[in-house]
Amino acid sequence: MNGYTIFTSLILSVIAPALSIFAEDNDAFWKSVYKDNHVLQIEMKVSRESWESMQPQRGKNARGNQRLDFANEFNYAKAEITIDGNPFPDAGLRFKGNSSYRFSRGSLKKPFKIDTNRFVKGQKLHGRTKLNLSNAFLDSAFMKEKLAYELYRAAGLPTPQTGWANVVLSVDGLADKKPLGIYVIIEQMDERYLKENLQGDPQQSILTKPESLDDWEYLGKDPDAYQQYNIKIGKTNTPTIQRFMEIMRLIQTASDREFAEKIEDYVDLDKLAGYLAATSLLANIDSYVGMPHNYYLLLNSPQDKLKLLPWDVNEAFGTFTLGRPAEQLANWEINRPWIARRKLLERLFETEQFPKLYRIALIDLMKTAFTEKQIFARIDEYKNALTPVIQKLGNKALDSFEMGIEGDDRGRNLAVERPTLAIKPFVKQRIESVEAQLEGAENGISLSRRR
């Protein structure tokens, strides 16, 4: 047995226990609400005044250009919300998202965030107060986020749970019990999630959601400067922030020798390899590998290793196309699983160890979770759960649903505005391309982020 075989066996023995796409979830909330793929029934009633107050205001950015405020800058307003027959009077409701909001500006089916506890303390649904409602604006099958998070979970990463809701909206003078259709519900990444799923302590951990820096930067020795990384939890945990500073310094300024010797002590390379493998297979370009958002960074203590966690995966399965033909995303090269300038990845792929870790994670997913048998079985399971609800929305909704899964005769999903592949055709083409690349029969297509 040669050295590489021994190395491969050792790595697989470490990561294999985490590579189960069907791992049982022990969280009581998700069991009670989504048992047997239950679809929540949500009715939202909003006054016209509240609806108008929810609209983002036009402002000016640092360059003086007009812009719309997004994400956390949306305002909460009071709404009467009923979830599976349980009333939540004066609950908080706001819009959320970036592209998912922008592309829905002509429609009432916008992405929403519900906070049952916002204005009336103690209002909870099975112990939870927040629900993220994704409008799946480029996924008429409503499965991409659920399937993508499952693949990341199979790669050894903690990910939020997902479910579905059938939503009806009433706005005074604008809509009267208007069916908005199916939404995908995403678990909230908050202090409860930190403690229960990330083994973190809010008194020591920092959880950041970078959105203002294209690539990570070392910002000097002032801990306050690192608020630019959008620290969500742990803004005052200075010792852990200092650890974060050390990691950024190592990545950005260390010599090649120092970087190679120390990086595994500062960054969780196994989880990063798993993240990149899943991201590559999903061609999930609207993420850390291509854009300056849609991920979290976690440090649980001043001694912890940095972990990169996926978030907002609604444009996985080659949906974020960079303006290219959809088929090119299914044939993306596997040897360089990033497209924007990412100094950490550039340096890691120059080391001897990390490319092997990444390739092992990729091969393992190709043998276990990213197979037609596994993914198509999940699709069929979710199709059975959603079809009875979608049938009640009419034939047009049902046709769009089927189109999102199977596509037309070219595999394209014609039910959404962007020319993308439907889920099954993408999976088939991606598996075929990756297998050919692993065998050395083809190189794959190089992508570059177009500005």
pLDDT-based confidence at residue 28 (cuts at 50, 70, 90): low
CA 74 to chain centroid, in Å, comes to 20
Share of the chain above pLDDT 90, in %: 82
pLDDT at 350: 97
Residues 191-219 have a mean pLDDT of 95
3-class DSSP state of 129: coil
Please give the DSSP secondary-structure letter assigned to residue 128. Answer: B
pLDDT-based confidence at residue 100 (cuts at 50, 70, 90): confident
Measured distance CA(109)–CA(86) in Å, rounded: 22
pLDDT-based confidence at residue 23 (cuts at 50, 70, 90): very low
Tell me the two tokens of residue 56: 């983002």
- Alpha-carbon torsion (385, 390, 392, 394), positive or negative: negative
Is the Cβ–Cβ distance between 54 and 18 less than 8 Å? no
Provide the mean pLDDT of the chain. 90
Q: What digits encode the pLDDT tens for the residues 218-270?
A: 999 999 999 999 999 999 999 999 999 999 999 999 999 999 999 999 999 99
Question: In this structure, how many other beta carbons lie within 10 angstroms of the beta carbon of residue 195?
Answer: 13
In this model, does residue 26 exceed pLDDT 50? no
Is the Cβ–Cβ distance between 254 and 289 less than 8 Å? no
Measured distance CA(271)–CA(155) in Å, rounded: 8
Question: In this structure, how many other beta carbons lie within 10 angstroms of the beta carbon of residue 232?
Answer: 17
Is the Cβ–Cβ distance between 114 and 130 less than 8 Å? yes
Which amino acid is present at 340?
Answer: A
pLDDT-based confidence at residue 148 (cuts at 50, 70, 90): very high
Q: What digits encode the pLDDT tens for the residues 135-145?
A: 999 999 999 99
Measured distance CA(112)–CA(188) in Å, rounded: 13
Give the pairing of strands 162-171 and 130-134: unpaired
Measured distance CA(22)–CA(4) in Å, rounded: 30
Diameter of the chain measured on Cα atoms: 74
Q: What digits encode the pLDDT tens for the residues 379-432?
A: 999 999 999 999 999 999 999 999 999 999 999 999 999 999 999 999 999 999
pTM over 0.75: yes
pLDDT-based confidence at residue 126 (cuts at 50, 70, 90): confident
